[in-house]
Amino acid sequence: MSMRMERVASVIKEEIGVLLLRELNEPGLGFITVTEVHMTPDLKLAKIYVSIFGNDEIKQRTMQFLEEQTPHVRAVLGSHIRLKFTPSVQFYLDETLDRVERIEKIIKQIHGQDDDKKASE
């Protein structure tokens, strides 16, 4: 990723984080954190990865809400960021933390089984 793409992604990540806290904080939705923003080389598309705290139903409802708010998010970005084109916005659920949690759980189970074997010997 070029330096310009990284800078634009960083600014967009910050702006959307503030927007989520101030304007898009609805009751019944999960706690939303912007984990990453990837820009296309032409800076016309921002892929926004979010982590959502909550069960699967809350995550689904929150993602649907974010998709509905996409035009508003783009309009706010356009008014706050000076670019030739305001990038289109796409939200993606970042499940990295869920995967890490599952892997840690499996590792703990394996270590627990090893400890049980050592204790029985």
DSSP track, 29-48: SPEEEEEEEEE-TTS-EEEE
Q: What is the pTM of this model?
A: 0.78
Domains of the chain as residue ranges with CATH: 3-95 (3.30.300.20)
Q: Which residue has the tokens 């032409």?
A: 42
Taking only the tens of pLDDT, the chain with its 121 residues reads 789 899 999 999 999 999 998 888 888 888 899 999 999 999 999 999 999 988 889 999 999 999 999 999 999 999 988 888 899 999 999 887 777 777 888 888 887 776 666 666 6
d(CA 79, CA 69): 16
